[in-house]
Amino acid sequence: MLNRHDGIPVFGLYADHNNSVEVEYILDGKKEKETYSILTGPLKNDYVDNRNVTQLQEVKVTKVAKGFEDRLYFVNSMTTVPQGSDVNWLQPKSGGSGWQAQHSAGSVAFDMAPFNYIVDTQGEYRWWLNQDATYDSRSVDFSKRGILMGVNPTFDGKLTFVQGQTFGMFDLMGRVDQMDLPRGYLDTTHAMWPMENGNYLVRAAKRAYVNPEGHLVHTVRDHILEVTASGDLVDVWNLNNILDPYRDAKLKALDIGAVCINVDLESDGQTIDEFEIDAPYGDTPGVGAGRNWAHVNSISHDPSDDSIILSLRHQGNVKIGRDKEVKWIIAPREGWKGDLAKKVLTPVDSKGRKISCTEQGKCEGDFDFTYTQHTTWLSSKGTITSLDNGDGRWHTQPALPTQKYTRFVEYKVDDKKMTVEQLWEYGKERGYDWYSPVTSNAEYRGDRDTMFGFGGSTFLREPGQRTIGRINEIDYKTKNVMVEIDVYTDKPNITHYRSTIIDPKQMFGF
């Protein structure tokens, strides 16, 4: 531990406080104890404007059960910049008679200031990532723009992140390694995943890609890159060639007023049926390379067969091998064609009996698919966990928005029988007050047998209201709430992204 630092690293001090720190050690066989006073400065949000309700994001603790008092939660959030995003890609396009270009917003406009911190179960900030460590809203250098997302613990005590045109790692002592994407790729957001071989999986897009229409485009959230820790490209999964970028079954059911970070309250409740499914190229829901047809928002790696598990917000959940062949799909059957239709898993009950479902996914019995889901990950038990946001459920919009709900859900996949069983769910019973239309995450935690999750966009759509990010740990056996902590955005109608549990022993290696 000490070999990595000039002295003893200190983590978790209170901000704007004269902290008392005790150090115990053994010297020449004798136990020593020393006490130090460490004065810290206040935390500062560099992006305060006239929309702010608070400077920092408020934390309100609802419940912490006995045995969970030591939990620390990393909140991966963001805040808008006063001038807004002022950069866009020039989206190229080729016509039948020659090359031409049109101005259409690419994903580079996905640009917000980071807001990342760790809270304890008392609602106190215990760590803060300076906003200028990775970001500069006025920089003309694109490596300092974007949205910091995809924070996951690595195998060596660091945390991953992606941000616009860069990816990297940082540790809790503030050391940041930030690298440019491999040449030819752009716009990395949402997901980065550490692999057992020391490489990383990064979700990005392809620059200057010729689609089947013959148009030269920048693609949107549809490429997975395997890169080394130094940024070298190892492998690529081009989802335009692996899946069907023209499947629109789920796309047509989306609430167009909230598509991930893009929030438009004036379009609340409208679907893409009222827009062009083949709208101008750019960061807009639609079919085909050059539009947001896939929206991959999570990656997980299965080392048992060296395959990747993806959540595609606008398609479903898929597992793809190193050979770029689809192994299975968890999604309603509507719109899947040819060989891909054969990879759609059949829902079964606990006795292996087939559950009857409509093409749109409405099923009899104890089963439901995920809709606009986030973080479909392989759990430590070998099961699949996902945050089922619930927008466009059964490929439709309900009569009232208050009929929507979000779930934590767990599935068991039998890839030999090509079946999927729903093992566990939570959230439906809490209704609209627990609904998160976008972002968020869920994962099983074996250390305390809980399902941990974060509803990052509760009440996002309520005009003038700050959004709640709801941290929960739910007892797996009883479904009792063990932890519930709400964090409020500093401005109305923006969203948090995700949360993760921080274990100092794991992060610092002791």
Q: Provide the Cα torsion 353, 357, 362, 368; round to 10°.
A: 30
Which whole-number Å values give the CA distances from 37 to 17, 19, 23, 40, 493, in the listed order?
10, 6, 11, 10, 40
- The tokens describing 119, both together, are 């809270």
- φ/ψ of 6, rounded to 5, equals -90, 80
Q: How far is CA 336 from CA 171, 344, 396, in A?
A: 42, 8, 17
Token pair, residue 125, equals: 């900030």
Give the C-alpha separation, 336 to 329, whole Å. Answer: 10
Strand-pairing partners, residue 325, are none
Whether 374 is catalytic is yes
Residue 294 contacts by C-beta under 8 Å, 6 or more apart in sequence? 220, 221, 222, 239, 243, 245, 312, 313, 314, 315
CA–CA separation, 216 vs 26, rounded Å? 66
275 contacts 264 by C-beta, under 8 angstroms: no
**Residue with the two structure tokens 């292996």:** 352
Give burial (CB, 10 Å; 0-12/13-18/19+) of 326.
Answer: middle
Contact between residue 373 and residue 320 where contact means Cβ atoms under 8 Å apart: no
| Catalytic member of 218, 223, 295, 374 | 374
Spatial contact of 171 and 157, defined as CB atoms under 8 Å apart: yes
Element (H, E) at 425: strand 419-426
**Residue that the structure tokens 């793809």 belong to:** 320
Q: Where are the beta strands (DSSP E) in 262-370?
A: 262-263, 296-302, 307-312, 316-320, 326-330, 346-348
Positions annotated as catalytic residues are 374
